[in-house]
A and B are shown apart, each in its own frame.
Chain A
Amino acid sequence: MSSQADRQTSVPVDAVDVVSPADAEASEAAPAVLTVRGLTISVRDLELVSDVDLSVGPGERVGLIGESGSGKSLTALGILGLLPEDVTAAGSVRLSGIDHDLIGAGERRLSRVRGNHLAMVFQEPMTALNPTMRIADQVAEAMLVHRTQSNRRTARAAAVELLDRVQLTGIARAYPHQLSGGQRQRVVLAIALANDPALLICDEPTTALDVTVQAMVLDLILRGVTARDSALLFITHDLAVVATICQRVLVMYGGRVVESGPVREVFTNPRHRYTEGLLAASDLEAADSGPVGTSEPVRRRLPTIQGTVPAAGHFPDGCVFRTRCPHATEVCAERPPWTGDQTRGFACHHPAGADDV
């Protein structure tokens, strides 16, 4: 865990991100914790995730948004090497402090990284815990696996403290079925943070939770990663959550990253037409404010993105969004190049905001 101790506490996001993987190894400055290059995930001939590039700096909080089926979760599973048997990944996934690529690494080497340098919180807290084990034992196990704690007794003590930290006291001996969804998710979080991971991946950790509990779990996640100086890759389809906790955001659609940049910039000045549509579709304020002075309050309909997400493998070539995009032209049949850099960029032939110029 020395790499974490050495890590600088606050690194300017921009400075980190432009560093290419090659430079990252050479420079002492602040190598990205996670560097994904050209990650492609496919089932036989079907590409589910294509050519995803992403990097997360030390202590940085990055959001990965997109609707169901856009490949967010697969990307996360691909990073951890936990894809189902018949799903294959290609490309490169590097983690700082790990001298091998995670793609193509054997189970033995991967299991040393998982839960240690890289931890994950899953979406469904109701099933993410072993129903036959007491929760403190499950937390303790996470530390025993990676020898963070040398014996069962110290591991248990550490587990109780970790549970304390996520505001679960006096339930160390409980079984998962005795806990609520929010409590279970906090146990899962305690397990994920047990070994002070350099990177925590959260796959829609609050989607299955009650709204009031969501805020609390989010807060605990934030506090957990900040206290450990861990980086966070937060997968969600909730734009508000991303706006609250992330510094940078990547927008995925059809298995591709279509836009990325600092949260504020992407949300106020979206360039990709999909991001634009997504934001318009969640602009409740605009929808609620009808014209003033009318006798009946007229409510505008919330704008939606026309059409539906195609089934996996049925995305058009070229720009994946062109079948649903109101601005699509013939040129969109060609795959749009990435405009900008790693920090701020998009892949669109007719970017929003360009017409106004």
Chain B
Amino acid sequence: MSADLGPVGHAVGGRRRWNPSLLVGGFIVALIAVVALVSFVWTPYDATLVDPAGRLASPSWTHWLGTDKFGRDILSQLMVGSRTTLFVGLVAVGVAAVIGVPLGIFAAMTRRWSSELVMRANDLLLAFPALLLAIMFGAVFGASTTTAMVAIGIATIPSFVRVIRSGGMQVMRTEYVLAARAAGRRPFPIAIRHVLPNVVSLITVQASVSFAIAVLAEAALSFLGYGTPPPTPSWGRMLQESQEFLFSAPRLAVFPGLAIAVAVLGFNLLGDGLRDHFDPKLEDRR
């Protein structure tokens, strides 16, 4: 009984332990971010500098990762390309979250018919393949990084709506929402103060997974020629340009491919780690 009366002591301000996914994922994402930032001020060479004499050079001390068919430095291209990757991911996920999260919460909180309306419209969008949408956008508005990321963002909305709606519905069924209503809270404050904070972990996970998907989609679009146009370096286009040298110079495909894979892995790990780290409900279980 005395323990019940006293302050909670150690529990207050107790730190949550770090977990490996968060560490590794955070490290990878931070590395990509740092590389992208560094590329603004310094790259070994100008990433767009064409050097016909030094084309298809193997890795060496002068060109750490070698050069491509135009003699451009691969490392410099990868560094500048990470900017495109991060930018596309951020904007695409941002578009998806800013539209998808409110819609999901709305669908979770409203009465049946309006919720159904949102979800059926959502299904309609979901039925549309992301790449097809992006290619369509590219055909209409012209292939560019902006079109690609907006299209990827729009195509990612449905997954946000679904995840947030189901999470939101769970939150709406909890006693603290009932208690909040019993305390006279109106729906909008309940959405902001009770539903949103309790689906943050879902948003984080969904954002990181979507980020990974967006990175892949951007690469695919650039590969297909509907993404970032030349000469701006992009991992996807580097991969595409390496095709003809797949046997003679496989490193041209390996380096950007590795960059894409590591970035996708990093964002996925970060998402998992964040979910475990920030969710106070999970703390007791560890």
Contact = CB atoms under 8 A, between A and B. Distances in A.
* A and B interact physically: yes
Interface of A: 80, 82, 85, 107-108, 111-116, 119-120, 122, 124, 127-133, 141-142, 145-146, 167, 169-171, 173-175, 177-180, 182-183, 188, 191-192, 212-213, 216
A177 B8 contact: no
A220 to B, nearest CB: 11
Interface string B169-194: 00000111011111111110100011
Given A111-B184, A127-B176, A169-B7, 10 more contacts: A116-B184, A127-B175, A128-B175, A128-B179, A132-B200, A141-B185, A145-B184, A170-B7, A175-B280, A188-B179
A116 B184 CA distance: 7
A145 B192 CA distance: 14
A171 B12 contact: yes
Contacts, number: 102
B5 A133 contact: no
B198 A131 contact: yes
Contacts of A114: 181-184
A120 B186 contact: no
A174 B4 contact: no
Q: How large is the interface on B (under 10, 10 to 19, 20 to 34, 35 or more residues)?
A: 35 or more
Nearest to B171: A130
A337 B13 CA distance: 61
Interface of B: 1, 3-5, 7-8, 11-14, 111-112, 174-176, 178-187, 189, 193-194, 197-198, 200, 280-281, 283-284
A188 B175 CA distance: 11
A122 B1 CA distance: 22
Contact of B175 (A119, A124, A213): A124
27 contacts: A82-B181, A107-B186, A108-B186, A111-B181, A111-B186, A114-B183, A116-B184, A119-B182, A128-B176, A128-B178, A130-B180, A130-B193, A130-B197, A131-B176, A132-B198, A132-B280, A141-B193, A145-B185, A167-B5, A174-B8, A177-B280, A177-B281, A177-B284, A178-B14, A179-B8, A180-B3, A182-B4
Contacts of A180: 3-4
A9 to B, nearest CB: 26
B185 to A, nearest CB: 6
A216 B3 CA distance: 13
Contacts of A131: 176, 198, 280-281
Nearest to A142: B183
A216 B7 CA distance: 17
Contacts of B13: 173
B1 A212 contact: yes
A113 B11 CA distance: 36
A182 B1 CA distance: 10
A112 B184 contact: yes
Given A131-B281, A171-B8, A146 B176 contact: no
B43 to A, nearest CB: 43
Contact of B12 (A112, A173, A216): A173
A127 B174 CA distance: 7
Contacts of A85: 111-112
Central interface residue in B4, B8, B14, B184, by most chain A CB within 10 Å? B184
Contacts of B182: 80, 82, 114-115, 119-120, 122
Contact of A183 (B4, B174, B179, B186): B4
